[in-house]
Every structure is written in structure tokens, then in C-alpha cells.
């Protein structure tokens, strides 16, 4: 029964999203209504990099986990690289 499975999957996804929001709000000690805005494209990219097809939806949990790890590692590296570059530039231009 595919309708029943779809309802159960959406129910589980909603519960997991609510737990994620709860844990995230306790971590940063503030709740903002636009806190997760802009993460949809990142999540889709992680799933696609993990091997899940957008046309058929076949994939594995391990592949999705690895895809998410790759995407967030690249994001973290790029953010740290930018901050390091900014500090080096600041030191070179203003050595005082």
C-alpha cells in the first residue's frame, strides 16, 4: 500500500525535522523562524552526491550519509579558507 507508506515516511520525516529543530535551538539558545532557510538545496545536493537518483529515488542510507559528509566538509573547508585568507590580507595590508 504505497499511500500508507508515503504517509508514514512523511510522518517520520516531520518528527525527525522537529527533533532537529529542537536540538539546534538548544545548541544556539535562540529560535529564529528563518533559521533553516537555504538548506534545501544543500540537502538535495548531498542526497544526489550520495547516489540517490532524482528520477527514481533509488539510493542507500550510507550513500546519503557520505554525500552529506562530503558536502558539509567542502562547505566547512571553504568557509575556513575564506576566513584565513581574510586574516592574512588584513595582516599584510595593516601590519600594526
How far apart, in Å, are the Cα atoms of 88 and each of 4, 57, 81, 83? 57, 45, 11, 9
* Predicted confidence pLDDT, tens digits, the chain (96 residues): 888 888 899 899 889 988 888 887 777 777 677 777 778 888 888 889 999 888 877 888 899 899 999 988 888 887 777 767 666 666 666 655
Between CA 83 and CA 48 the distance in angstroms is: 28
Between CA 96 and CA 84 the distance in angstroms is: 18
Q: Exposure string (b/e) for 41-50, b if CB count within 10 Å is 16 or more?
A: eeeeebbebb
Range of the domain at 58: 2-93
Count of domains forming the chain: 1
Amino acid at each position: 500500500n504505497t499511500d500508507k507508506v508515503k504517509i508514514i515516511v512523511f510522518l517520520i520525516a516531520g518528527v525527525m525535522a522537529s527533533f532537529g529543530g529542537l536540538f539546534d535551538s538548544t545548541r544556539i539558545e535562540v529560535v529564529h523562524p528563518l533559521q533553516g532557510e537555504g538548506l534545501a538545496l544543500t540537502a538535495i545536493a548531498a542526497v544526489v552526491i550520495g547516489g540517490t537518483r532524482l528520477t527514481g529515488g533509488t539510493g542507500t542510507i550510507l550513500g546519503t550519509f557520505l554525500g552529506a559528509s562530503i558536502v558539509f566538509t567542502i562547505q566547512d573547508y571553504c568557509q575556513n579558507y575564506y576566513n584565513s585568507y581574510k586574516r592574512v590580507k588584513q595582516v599584510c595590508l595593516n601590519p600594526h
